[in-house]
Structure 1
Amino acid sequence: MFIEKISHYIPEERVPNSYFKDVNGLDDEWIFQRTGIKTRSRAAEHENSNTMAVDAVRSLEKYLDGVDLIVGASYSPYDTVATIAHVVQKEFALKGAKAVFISSACSSLINAVEIVEGYFAMGKASKALVIASEHNWLYSNQTDEKSGHLWGDGATAILLNSNEVPGSPEILNIFTEGLGDVGQGPDAVYLRPAGEGLEMPNGRDVFIHACEYMETGLMKVLDNRNLDKNDLDYIIPHQANDRIIQNLSQRMKFDYNRIFRNIDRLGNTGCASTGICLSENWQEFKKGDLVGITVFGGGYSYGAMLIEF
């Protein structure tokens, strides 16, 4: 499975930490020291997870011929019926393509790519468009001092091909697993639209398990290819909290400077975060580079993907 093209969309507005002083009482330095966030992206009033998905795909428009599968991913949808996948299909006239929407919290992008792998293996698709889009500001409770200051908005789009595309990196291995039976599971982070919205009442439990399983995911995809952590050139982790990223660096004894990050600028952009970060740094990778992507989602779930450029 090969990554033919990748893109991203980030709203223009950046909300600084200082915004929250009058909202939830937290000051700039307190937020930065505990999260690594300085600013976060915020969608404009006319934007939502569907419009951001369309904007992410827009720069890939001339490469979409032959797309026969669309998988949308999000936990902050604008519409649970007319989903990201269906809106993109209409906007770009992708006639005859299968359209699927999935959600597994912040691991959803990797879950979506694994779904594509399954369709490819069954011979039911050969060219797929995966879109992850999050509108966290729509659902977040900004007054919540536990998590109201964490969230950012954005989208990413990845064009996948079952056949080798000259010059395109290959996905060597991908792995996901649900962890609903672990720790606080479904009660640690939740979004209940009819209730209080996006909440993280058990942040410590999330932190502990994210640190453990983001490492576990990377080691699984490396083991599956008879590789070890010393073979990795770069890591792109889910951008939830820079302290988690630092912990991952320490646990794996992996150079923190070879871990790509955008959480300081964009905040936690949910399941879109790793795709946005990969797209932002696409030109940094050279032929032969081995890149590990690792994610952890509230709920819980985790996964990883190994890419060779």
Structure 2
Amino acid sequence: MSINTVANRQYAAITGIGGYVPQSKRTNYDLEKVCDTSDEWIVKRTGIKERRILEHDLATSDMAVKAIQDLALQYNKNLSDVDALLVATSTPDMPMPATANIIAEKLGLRNVWAFDMNAACSGFLYALDMAASLVETGRYKNVLVVGADNISRYVNIYDRSTNILFGDGAGVVWLEPSQEGGIMDAYLTSNGGGREFLTIEAGGSLYPIEANAIETESRYLRQDGKTVFKHAVQSMSDACTKVLHRNNLQIADVNWLVPHQANQRIIDAVGRSLNIPEGRALSNIEYLGNTIAATIPLCIWQNIKQINTGDLIMLTAFGAGFSWGASLLRWMI
């Protein structure tokens, strides 16, 4: 095993992780009551049995706050030490201000650099890479990276192509400087070629929300499942392979693969494409569904007991845009 290293390099290491999922559940049996589907059909095609749904009087920021508070409690972190807060989300509380600003206010953070990033389901990896760069430069020492989405608000409950997949949740990691290891490498990219295949059209400057638009299909998440499936498997596999090759690694050197939790069939297909040993691709999609930018931190958070200090972890994601990529990190907790 070999990893390209630089003498005296400062890494950004994950030193804490937290998560939050709403209490309310939407099961496959609930969906059987509103559309032509069945528990057997959903499980066979997605691996999902239920997903969490946020209460109507709460928003994305509320889940993020709960996740951050969970991290602070579990890892004895002082939130007053936070220098920067990056929030990956496609479902901000409102168009402005940034949800990161709202989270900062709710947590009582003052003079913190806080902003949102939208790269859909790839958002957490994009935000993690940017946060790592902030730490590596030495300008910031304690950075929170949140992945949070209240995507159920944008799902048409009667649309079988989307209602079976998506749920709500938030995950967060704390980054600090380390000389020992942390975020080792990342390859992230997008091409804009997937706009028509995975989209929420209404709500922006092109199709602003107006009284008549609120009742139209344009306000809901729409996707072409077959096209997304094909591109997701190929893109995530290619991104992981690229990161492995430029770090002189084989897939056998990786302790854990943490793919975006879009669909269990996609997770399995990426694992087969990479030829990763059985049991080394982590998953938690069965009871949470696809939580967009929250899937990767939530997956690590819920599987934390399997991960050991020093483990090499490959993260990979694919989302609307299309956007995709992979990150390689050494687990330092």
**TM-score normalised per structure 1:** 0.93
Deviation at 1:122, TM superposition (A): 4.2
| Cross-structure match for 1:262 | 284
5+ residue gaps in structure 1?
A: none
Q: Is 1:154 the counterpart of 2:161 in the alignment?
A: no
Deviation at 1:202, TM superposition (A): 1.4
Matches within 5 A, 1:84-233: 84-164=99-179, 170-181=182-193, 185-192=194-201, 193=203, 194=209, 195=213, 196-233=218-255
Deviation at 1:191, TM superposition (A): 1.4
- The one-letter amino acid of 2:26's match is V
The CA distance in 1 between the partners of 2:306 and 2:78, in whole Å, is 22
1:7-66 Cα shifts (integer Å, max 9, x gaps): 000111221111112312111111111111111111123322110011111123433233
Q: Cα–Cα, structure 1 residues 191 and 256, in superposed 2: closer, same or farther, change >3 Å?
A: farther
Deviation at 1:148, TM superposition (A): 2.0
- The one-letter amino acid of 1:38's match is K
Which of 271, 277, 292 is the equivalent residue of 2:314? 292
- The one-letter amino acid of 1:244's match is I
- The one-letter amino acid of 2:319's match is G
Compute the RMSD of aligned alpha carbons: 1.7
Deviation at 1:78, TM superposition (A): 1.9
Deviation at 1:254, TM superposition (A): 1.6
The alignment of Structure 1 onto Structure 2 pairs a total of residues equal to 303
Q: Is contact 1:53-1:84 (8 Å) kept?
A: no
Q: Secondary structure at the match of 1:99?
A: strand
Deviation at 1:259, TM superposition (A): 1.1
The CA distance in 1 between the partners of 2:188 and 2:262, in whole Å, is 18
The CA distance in 2 between the partners of 1:56 and 1:149, in whole Å, is 24
- The one-letter amino acid of 2:256's match is Y
Q: Is contact 1:291-1:307 (8 Å) kept?
A: yes
| Cross-structure match for 2:256 | 234
The structure whose Rg is larger is: 2
Shifted more, 295-304 versus 212-221: the winner is 212-221
Q: Is contact 2:19-2:71 (8 Å) kept?
A: no
Q: Is contact 1:127-1:160 (8 Å) kept?
A: yes
Shifted more, 114-123 versus 33-42: the winner is 114-123
- The one-letter amino acid of 2:66's match is D
1:83-137 Cα shifts (integer Å, max 9, x gaps): 3211221122322221111101100001001111332344432221111111111
| Cross-structure match for 1:271 | 293
Q: Cα–Cα, structure 1 residues 118 and 287, in superposed 2: closer, same or farther, change >3 Å?
A: closer
The CA distance in 2 between the partners of 1:154 and 1:190, in whole Å, is 20
The CA distance in 2 between the partners of 1:38 and 1:233, in whole Å, is 27
Q: Is contact 1:126-1:163 (8 Å) kept?
A: no
Q: Is 1:307 the counterpart of 2:329 in the alignment?
A: yes
Deviation at 1:82, TM superposition (A): 2.9
| Cross-structure match for 1:65 | 80
5+ residue gaps in structure 2?
A: 1-11, 204-208
1:277-307 Cα shifts (integer Å, max 9, x gaps): 1111122111332111110012100011112
Shifted more, 94-103 versus 2-11: the winner is 94-103
